[in-house]
A and B are shown apart, each in its own frame.
Chain A
Amino acid sequence: MALNIESDHNRFRKIVKGKIRENLRKFIKHSDMLGKKGKDIVSIPLPQIELPRFKHNPQSGGGVGQGDGDVGTPLGQGEDGQQGKGKAGDQPGMHIMEVELSIDELAEILGEELQLPRIQPRGKHKIESLRTRYRSISRVGPESLRHFKRTYKEALKRQIASGIYRFDNPIIIPIKEDIRYKSGKPMRTLESNAVIFYIMDISGSMGDEQKDIVRIESFWIDAWLRRHYPGLETRYIVHDVQAREVDREAFFSLRESGGTMISSAYLLLSDILEKSYSIDEWNIYAFHFSDGENWGDDDNKVCIETLSNRILNRINLFCYGQVASHYGEGDFLKILEESFKDTENISLSFIQDRDAIYDSIKTFLGKGR
């Protein structure tokens, strides 16, 4: 078969990388990487080029769907207007099935796509955890743990022994005495534990778009780290001129106005670290997102001091992501860059827009620490 798919594919890759046909660059879109948990279908990173055509503005149109829900029920955030149209290929008979993914598989894909190194947990396996392992068989137990094969075998044995079994009509009917159950025992295992701190600037200049970026990015960071640490803890800190610890929901919904003192967050972080997370039992990660506007040089100084004396020495990795906002760019990123040029466990990235999330995650987690 004479197919040129390889050359067509190469050409497409080159266009995406910007090596040829630069006039197409503006039509490249990177599809959203955010997958949802649970039942919903996720998409994987996939650059696409869509040539311009006369078409309807998706947002002034609408569509037809099928299912439950009252008038006014949301169908999910709209982006490209493809909502609700089941993807089935645009040719008849091209028949595509979609498959759901677990978060674990997602993380795997993410790792592969970004070529992330595996993380080596710090060697100290000091945390004990109890887990039930099902390794033996018992005559009693809940129905949910019924062992079908064993039950069948018992019934077969009994029927053969008692002469009920007939070769020409081999029907096996288990009775109560035949039924076997899996039986478990709690086992102690030693694990390395980890905690992630997410810190976000919620001052007035961080808008919805900025928070969305933080949400998407932290979702993927979570997914990746969770693969390496089964008992992952997450804690959330928000700050404007003051810092406080909040729960996950508040973390993404809170919106304050006013100034920014980043040092407040770093001081709070170091307090929590000293109080609750001893350095040789925990793998500790901190991710700080801000638009980089800080309140004065004095505060910058406090930040640097706190980081170098009280945080960086007891943490696996500290990451700072500066999200671009409407209100100009802060210089906090630059200050950190200058102060921590040679420090290994700090990682910095600038996140221009959604498309940059991809690279930012790679910068943060690419160190494999």
Chain B
Amino acid sequence: MPLPKNLEDIRIRIEEFARKAGLDFYEVIFELLPWEEVNMIAAYGGFPNRYPHWRFGMEYEELSKGYSYGLQRIYEMVINNDPCYAYLLDSNKEVDQKLVMAHVYAHCDFFKNNVYFSHTNRKMMDESANHATRVKKYIDKYGIDAVEQFIDVCLSIDNLIDIHSPYIKRPAYGSKVEESPSKAKKFNVNKEYMSHFINPDIEDKQPKKKEDETESNLKNISYPIRDILLFLIQNAPLKEWQQDVLSIIREEAYYFAPQGQTKIMNEGWATFWHSRIMTTMALNDNELIDYADHHSGTVAIQPGGFNPYKIGLELFRDIEERWNKGRFGRDYEECEDMTRKRNWDLNLNQGLQKVFEVRRLYNDITFIDEFMTEEFVRKNKLFTYAYNDENNQYEIKSREFMEVKRQLLFMLTNMGNPIISLIDDSFGKRQELLLKHQYEDVELHYDWARETLKNLYIIWKRPVNLWTVFKGKGTLLTFDGHEFSENPLKEPD
């Protein structure tokens, strides 16, 4: 549905402002929706056409309850796609819509230009609809329970991917993986929507082909493997449809990964620009109070909380100021005259240029690592907290710069997921899988690790092992299909 006249006029103006500010984006299609529909689409992660699954219903319930009890509301959402789709809540005030549009254009600029999004499928809207069609077909054929159950199993391991792989050129295994199976099978994204028409009987031809591939792949495997999903797609004894479902889950995991990797930056960037566009160009005098109210809500910090919008915004502003005033480099770092340092201003005016560079080349980890300074941590009152067993509560642990940074980087590493890789697929007597948790002083949630192993077993159908550290000791946790066993074991190579 096209925007009504008044909003379309606003949109044209905001787009003009955004371009004037230097933002560069795909075409953005705005849709104005009532809250029920915004919640529905949000429940599906922004994709109106998504495969059926109960968790979308769960999301929906949460969003609707939150809305109808006045606890929370979604102002807008925006989808990384070409064209970008953005959904606006129809009950927003005009000034809110303005702000949201400016915010959206900045997100789209980020999607288009940030290097970590470069591999994402820009036709994900279509792709997601294809996924839906495929999954629905399987449901018709094999029943909702079987398919849904298998999706649950896949979702349970969907963080076992290698989020960096799209940016690394790997020898043999990696490149082979991207090429051969996708062309032979159904993974090729661009042609996928045609495949049902071109190769209606593709499933019959598949099994044989797969065996060949498996063999050649196995020879080329180099451990450790981080993309365990891919390994399973190629090597686990799965039925054709299961293989396809797993590949759908994997594809979506890779599509969404950059959004997790750039949460602070992406929100910071959008907030940086909505604030600038609104306050220097778009705002009318009589809208000031409403704007300030909304904006301050966006960047508000709950006591003791961490708001990525706020931190991202402040970091971008800090970068802009530092590069405008030349507050970087050796001379500045080593300056010991505090008065001189405080008034340091070389009038470089490279701030804007720098923030655009940063938005293109960084992700949250490198962003924090490089630009979060000691002054920043102090000024923004950041701290680390930890759980205190004695008092059964979380307590502020430290305000030391290095501690804060270390903790933050740890939380962002692998998007907060433990790093787990496959180090052997012929472990033990029965071609068992051996996974290894790269232990970094934080243990796994043990019960959950056990449940997840069960799910891995469902896929691999032979015993699965996980090496991790439990209660301070190296432990090999094994699930053989019936029961668990735990054995002390030194860290394997």
Contacts and interface: CB of A to CB of B under 8 A. Distances in A.
Interface-central residue, A9, A52, A59, A67, by most chain B CB under 10 Å: A52
A65 B297 contact: no
Interface string B378-402: 0011111111110111111111000
A94 B307 contact: no
Given A15-B54, A72-B395, A5 B60 contact: yes
A1 interface: yes
A91 B259 contact: yes
A54 B159 CA distance: 8
Contact of B53 (A8, A20, A71, A85): A8
A58 B384 contact: no
Contacts of B447: 52
Nearest to A39: B303
B58 interface: yes
B259 A92 contact: yes
A94 B87 CA distance: 10
B57 A9 contact: yes
A132 to B, nearest CB: 30
B444 A77 contact: no
Which residue among A13, A23, A56 has the maximum number of chain B CB atoms within 10 Å of its CB?
A56
B346 interface: no
A55 B263 contact: no
A59 B387 CA distance: 6
Contact of A56 (B65, B301, B310, B418): B418
A42 B1 CA distance: 36
A93 B103 contact: yes
Contacts of A1: 37, 48
A70 B86 CA distance: 42
Contacts of B52: 4, 7-8, 11
Contacts of B104: 93
Given A65-B305, A67-B301, A92 B267 contact: yes
B391 A85 contact: no
Given A24-B152, A54-B417, A65-B385, A73 B297 contact: no
A74 B388 CA distance: 9
Interface string B41-60: 11111101100111111101
Contact of B60 (A8, A67, A75): A8
A93 B393 contact: no
A71 B399 contact: yes
A48 B449 contact: no
B429 interface: no
Contacts of A88: 267, 307-309
Interface residues of B, number: 110
Interface in A1-45: 1-5, 7-13, 15, 20-21, 23-24, 41, 44
A66 B372 CA distance: 14
Contacts of B352: none
Contact of B387 (A4, A51, A62, A72): A62
A67 B305 contact: yes
A66 B310 contact: yes
Interface string A68-110: 1111111111100101111011111111111101000100010
B290 interface: no
A53 B448 contact: yes
A259 to B, nearest CB: 28
A171 B74 CA distance: 40
A49 interface: yes
A130 interface: no
A64 B76 CA distance: 27
Contacts of B303: 67-68
Given A15-B54, A66-B307, A92 B385 contact: no
B71 A54 contact: no
Contact of B107 (A5, A20, A85, A92): A92
Contacts of A55: 159, 417-418, 444-445, 448
Contacts of B145: 20-21
A22 to B, nearest CB: 11
Contact of A44 (B71, B74, B310, B442): B71
B304 interface: yes
B385 A46 contact: no
Contact of A46 (B65, B382, B383, B449): B65
Contacts of B144: 11
A258 interface: no
A1 B263 CA distance: 29
Contact of A54 (B86, B103, B444): B444
Interface string B395-434: 1111100001001101100001110100000000000000
A59 B349 CA distance: 45
Interface in B284-311: 297-298, 301-311
A64 B389 CA distance: 18
7 contacts: A8-B52, A23-B149, A52-B448, A55-B445, A66-B380, A72-B395, A91-B45
Interface of A: 1-5, 7-13, 15, 20-21, 23-24, 41, 44, 46, 48-49, 51-78, 81, 83-86, 88-99, 101, 105, 109
Interface of B: 37, 40-46, 48-49, 52-58, 60-62, 65-66, 69-78, 86, 100, 103-104, 107, 110, 144-145, 148-149, 152, 155-160, 256, 259-260, 262-263, 266-267, 270, 297-298, 301-311, 380-389, 391-399, 404, 407-408, 410-411, 416-418, 420, 437, 442-449, 451-452, 455
Given A8-B55, A74-B393, 4 more contacts: A65-B385, A93-B270, A97-B75, A101-B71
What are the 3 tightest A-B residue pairs by CB atom distance, in nearest-first order? A52-B451, A12-B57, A8-B57
